[in-house]
């Protein structure tokens, strides 16, 4: 399944089930909660890490839809942009971008 198909199916599920489709701030809050659940699953070694990460993705696709964005196109553009960038570690060990826009 590609990102656009997943975004469409996730949105249709939200509509069918009566979930939030208009309150962007609330959706960001719910996404944040899902990221926390995924972190806890990872930290505690729970078997449902994959499911929690899927929840993060689904909330992210909803946020994109609420803001009129095609997440697949945005991800493709960002990957292409990242490929043009290069990084070097500074004296503190942090990666610092040295080229690319």
In percent, the amount of the chain with pLDDT more than 90 equals 97
- Contact yes or no for 84/100 (Cβ under 8 A): yes
pLDDT of residue 100: 79
Spell out the alpha helix ranges (H) of the chain: 3-17, 24-43, 49-66, 71-83
- Per-residue pLDDT for 35 more than 80? yes
Q: Which CATH fold would you assign to the domain 3-99? A: Helix Hairpins (1.10.287)
Mean pLDDT of the chain, nearest integer: 96
Q: Cα separation of 7 and 3, whole Å? A: 6
The helix or strand, by DSSP H or E, that contains position 86, with its residue range, turns out to be strand 86-89
pLDDT of residue 77: 97
pLDDT interval class at 101 (50, 70, 90): confident
């Amino acid at each position: 399944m590609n990102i656009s198909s997943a975004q469409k199916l996730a949105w249709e599920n939200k509509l069918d089930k009566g979930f939030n489709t208009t309150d962007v701030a609330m959706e960001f809050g719910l996404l944040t909660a899902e990221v926390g659940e995924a972190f806890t699953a990872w930290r505690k070694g729970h078997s449902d890490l994959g499911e929690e990460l899927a929840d993060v993705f689904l909330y992210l696709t909803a946020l994109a839809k609420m803001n009129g964005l095609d997440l697949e196109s945005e991800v493709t553009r960002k990957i292409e942009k990242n490929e043009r960038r290069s990084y070097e570690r500074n004296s503190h060990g942090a990666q610092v971008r040295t080229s690319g826009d």
